[in-house]
Chain A
Amino acid sequence: KAGVTQTPRYLIKTRGQQVTLSCSPISGHRSVSWYQQTPGQGLQFLFEYFSETQRNKGNFPGRFSGRQFSNSRSEMNVSTLELGDSALYLCASSNGLRDYTDTQYFGPGTRLTVL
């Protein structure tokens, strides 16, 4: 089976712009979660989508949003970019057990740099 893929791998934007990141989960997986990784804050949960519905949400401002399509592919959007949004954004897919005990398979991430 192919793993989780994320596109693009690298992205450079300027403050105030918006950006869309894409994640294709492992075939058959219905849950996609997004995480932000920074040196200062570490790994933080953004949100999770399951069967096209946002099921869980972390503590991020409304500038961060996402969606999931019927084929389980997911996109994450960040509007009005700030310097602090520079980070590695990781996507993970799983079968989507509600207790979150199933294995999360991570993609390689998208490195976003905001100038």
Chain B
Amino acid sequence: AQSVTQLGSHVSVSEGALVLLRCNYSSSVPPYLFWYVQYPNQGLQLLLKYTTGATLVKGINGFEAEFKKSETSFHLTKPSAHMSDAAEYFCAVVPQGAQKLVFGQGTRLTINP
């Protein structure tokens, strides 16, 4: 079955530093890929998604992700972390032919002042 692996359940960076959250998917056929963010006591908010076309996807709040088929990866980056980026981040896929979101286990991002 199609799955998503997020490397690192907890990532900590300093304010102003690069944010890199890793996501790998398992599939021989590229799925549709998403990144969501969840702030405390809130639902999930879509940051960005890749379905077809350009492999570098820009999202909200300065985040972007690059789809790399050869590495089966869809890592999320932001050049300069802000305190307000502290949250939990989820990578998700819609496997080919399926009609549901399959989520990774999540990565909690902490920003140090």
Contact = CB atoms under 8 A, between A and B. Distances in A.
Contacts, number: 57
Contact of A106 (B45, B51, B104, B105): B45
Interface in A57-115: 58, 90, 92, 98-101, 103-109
Contact of A56 (B41, B92, B99, B105): B99
Report whether over half of chain A's contact residues are helix, strand or loop; otherwise say mixed. Answer: strand
B32 A99 contact: yes
A55 interface: yes
Interface residues of A, number: 24
B32 A56 contact: no
A98 B96 CA distance: 11
Contacts of B41: 108
A43 interface: yes
Contacts of A100: 32, 94, 98-101
B46 interface: yes
Contacts of B44: 90, 92, 104, 106
Interface string B73-113: 00000000000000000101010001111111110000000
Interface residues of B, number: 22
Contacts of A104: 44, 46, 101
A21 to B, nearest CB: 13
Contacts of B101: 33, 35, 43, 45, 100, 104
22 contacts: A33-B100, A33-B101, A43-B90, A45-B100, A45-B101, A45-B102, A48-B99, A48-B100, A56-B99, A56-B100, A58-B100, A90-B43, A92-B44, A99-B99, A101-B51, A103-B46, A104-B101, A106-B45, A107-B43, A108-B41, A109-B42, A109-B43
Interface of B: 32, 36, 41-46, 49, 51, 90, 92, 94, 98-106
Interface of A: 4, 33, 35, 42-45, 48, 55-56, 58, 90, 92, 98-101, 103-109
